[in-house]
Amino acid sequence: MAEPYEIKMPQLSDTMTEGVVVTWEKQVGDKIKRGDIVATVETDKAVMDVEVFRDGYLSGPIAAIDSTVAVGRAIGYIVESASEVTTDAAAPRRRRPTSGASRGKTGGVDQAADLESVPVVAPTPHRSAPSTTSPCRSCPTP
């Protein structure tokens, strides 16, 4: 059994911090291919499609329609086979390292799982220094 792949709420604009699930275009258990549109989400500016980047089967739990989900959080899962599809309320289980050799230098922490669960943070806007030049001659003075 391979690891379930999280379909995450994408950051579709620089100012987006969360999105609302508008529709699910696929149902739990449907076979999906890379490039398929599985859902539509409403951002702070528009309604956009959510495209997947893996082949597999859509598995639950999936975010409810009209639910608000933070950017980077799972809205659904992709599993390799139809037998792995679940509709349970709990997320599909991840395999844990079973030997010290597979743990590497992280002391038992699964680095791949840690990277997948890190929320996406929007960059902080750069503040420019105050202008030291005088206004142009055609501009009215304050």
pLDDT in tens, 3-43: 899 999 999 888 999 999 999 999 999 999 999 999 999 99
pTM more than 0.85: no
Q: Write down the pLDDT at residue 138.
A: 60
- Average pLDDT, stretch 100-114? 41
Q: What is the DSSP letter of 89?
A: S
66 pairs with which residues across the strands? Answer: none
- Average pLDDT, stretch 76-103? 69
7 close to 61: Cβ distance less than 8 angstroms: no
Mean pLDDT, the chain, integer: 76
Quote the percentage of the chain above a pLDDT of 70: 61
Structural domains in the chain plus CATH codes: 5-89 (2.40.50.100)
* Both structure tokens of 37: 């549109």
Q: Write down the pLDDT at residue 44.
A: 85
